[in-house]
Structure 1
Amino acid sequence: MDKIIDIQNVKWVKSGQEILKDVSWSVNKGEHWAVLGLNGSGKTSLLNIVTGYNYPTMGHVTVLDTTFGKASIPEMRKRIGVVSTALERFDATLNNQLVEDIVLSGKFSSFGIYQEVADGDRANAESIMYDLRLDYLKGKVFRTLSQGEKRRTIIGRALMADPELLILDEPCSGLDILSREDVLSITQNIKKRHSHLIYVTHHIEEITEVITHVLLMKDGEVVTCGKKEDVLTSSNLSDIYKVPVKIHWENKRPWLSISDK
């Protein structure tokens, strides 16, 4: 499997409105991508195509060697981990659960442990907690955690199924700067677990060293995509953000400021 994602000439129409317009995008093995764009640019719609929750009106989609229309989408989804703020609707269910049980529950795609757990699965959960610097939270219940700790726990849960593709959809949304940096720091460890990362955001400072490539979206279209150093230019970002901006690099991360030109 050389291509993790292969999307060619995809259109998606909802209620007569063209949401995605002739989108083409390929993710090769070993690459880790950020998807950038303003709210309403089509990022979430594209993710829903990748995960099979939206079906393209037109075009070709293959994800993890699963060609849409020719293979089982539910089986494909078992190989994908997704972390989104939308999962916060399950907080009431999670609030009284232990952190280690929430991470472990990812093995069974449940929000709770309802079956016998093998020793190997418990060892894997402990390894994930160590990698994500969550081991100090063992024995604590979810409701006592900070927002950043909760977000990292949910990422740990997604990793428990050993996903080949991990999608982080604006995982730092609503976090303060300390919690944001905590979440961003763990993306460096995701690479060691042999998952391919898709990181969705509209804040370029969240693009850490682990990200190799960037896709820019505007108004349902791909503006450009490729290696992050080539794509993240002042000109390209001024285009997608619809305001003049300047970009500079510091500590191997891009930063943005508004231009006076």
Structure 2
Amino acid sequence: MNHWVIYLDNNSDKKGFINDFQHRRIPLALEEFKPKNGLLFSALTLDKLIEDEDRHDKKILSSEHQKLETMSSGEQKRALLHYLLSEKPDYIILDNPFENLDFAFQEELKSILKKHAKDITFIQLASRKEDTLPFINNFGYLEKNDFLIIEDSALDESDIPETFNFINIPASTTSFTNLKNTLIDFKDVSVSYGEKPILNNINWTVKKGDFWQLSGANGSGKSTMLSMIFGDNPKAYGQEIYLFGNKKGSGESVWDIKEKIGYYAPAMTLKFHGRQSVQHMLISGLTDSVGLYTIPTDVQKKIIDQWLNLLGLQDVKNKYFNALSMGQQRLVMTARAMVKRPPILILDEPTADMDSKSARLLVALVNKFANETDTAIIFVSHRQEKGLHPKKILKLIPGEHGSAGIIH
């Protein structure tokens, strides 16, 4: 079988390529696929299935007891893969199949795909060379809209710089006073959904200036923990959870908590559909708004200019945010979460789907935050990012009674 990997960078028009392929507008080098029937293994497919399930109560992947949107990302991908394989297509396009998956399921996925590689052709879209499936025998590269055939050795990721601009992290117009040294404190926290245990006696303390990586298998409870800190998860109430010195549920609003926390997850980028400039995107981080609805002050503009210099984006400050590459967008959004210099910064899988060069640049920025500020950082990721230097790791280990927390 002629299996392909097509490498992407953050300027590649992946969505356009997938859309063209599905409508049989296929590059000449891949014309063998034009008369064949194919399916798409992608977050795009999952989003469509979730929408159909909500709108039409049309269940394709959901079990009798759990809706698709409530499954972990790993559970969703497992269900989608088995469904697609059962349809017996001629080929399957695998859109960054290993993103957001723990190591164990990555290995399981590789084994499943290898088993079916004799009967189904796989076209893997990969942002990282290290993710290449071992049985791939053809190599391509998507340069913006153009598909190119390449040699395996043509994509060299060994010499990617891990440094960042030498400008210091800018100050903030926001002052957070009367904060205690301990910002987050979980004491014997256990959570279950129905009869399904999720967390088992979690003890975890986050102090000023800490740099944590939060890791664990899919479904181990990472999202549950984040939602009890940053969101309004009712499971947090009645627990021994303390945020900024106050017990969760003791009278503070969710907005009192959110104003002290910078948060970024890649899905947030979808909220910004308007024509905000890069400069206005960063200023909106100072005002906690999705858009910019007030005239920025001279002080705000000065601080944001310093951020633009730090990011190396001064020359595109008036460009529409949506016109930036994915790598540039992620840098802007990560900086946006930090422009207030919040007591806590939570980055939830910020490097998912990024190419190696852009990911290392973002990692270097996060390391810089940790080295130059007293903001406590919580970096959530399955992937062991090269160059990331967390001081501590909280790993959630699933068990019969829910996940236990192991600190390294």
Interval of TM-score (by shorter of Structure 1 and Structure 2): 0.7 to 0.9
Cα distance per residue 1:4-62 (max 9 Å; x no partner): 21001112233443222221111122211001112212111111111142132653111
The number of residues matched between the two structures is: 223
Counterpart residue number, 1:181: 360
Aligned residue runs from structure 1 range 30-109, under 5 A: 30-55=209-234, 56=236, 59-72=239-252, 73-93=254-274, 96-109=275-288
Once residues 308 and 373 of structure 2 are traced to their aligned partners in structure 1, the CA distance between those partners, rounded to angstroms, is 12
Cα distance per residue 1:178-227 (max 9 Å; x no partner): 11112111112213243211000011235613x211101122523411xx
Counterpart residue number, 2:205: 26
Counterpart residue number, 2:130: none
8 Å contact kept, 2:185–2:205: yes
Structure-1-length-normalised TM-score = 0.79
8 Å contact kept, 1:12–1:57: no
1:205 and 2:392 equivalent?
Answer: no
Once residues 337 and 209 of structure 2 are traced to their aligned partners in structure 1, the CA distance between those partners, rounded to angstroms, is 19
1:196 and 2:376 equivalent?
Answer: yes
Counterpart residue number, 1:257: none
Q: Secondary structure at the match of 1:120?
A: helix
Q: Secondary structure at the match of 2:232?
A: coil
Higher CA-based Rg: 2
Once residues 223 and 66 of structure 1 are traced to their aligned partners in structure 2, the CA distance between those partners, rounded to angstroms, is 23
How far does residue 164 in structure 1 lie from its aligned partner after superposition?
Answer: 0.8
Tell me, which stretches of 5 or more residues in structure 2 are unaligned? 1-179
8 Å contact kept, 1:42–1:218: no
Once residues 142 and 172 of structure 1 are traced to their aligned partners in structure 2, the CA distance between those partners, rounded to angstroms, is 18
Counterpart residue number, 1:246: none
Tell me the amino acid that sits aligned with residue 255 of structure 2: P
Once residues 99 and 17 of structure 1 are traced to their aligned partners in structure 2, the CA distance between those partners, rounded to angstroms, is 44
1:166 and 2:345 equivalent?
Answer: yes
Q: Secondary structure at the match of 2:188?
A: strand
Q: Secondary structure at the match of 1:205?
A: coil
Higher share in strand: 1
Tell me the amino acid that sits aligned with residue 195 of structure 1: T
Q: Secondary structure at the match of 2:337?
A: helix
Distance 1:71 1:52, change over 3 A: farther
Identity %: 26
How far does residue 125 in structure 1 lie from its aligned partner after superposition?
Answer: 1.5
8 Å contact kept, 1:10–1:22: yes
Structure-2-length-normalised TM-score = 0.52
Distance 1:223 1:6, change over 3 A: closer
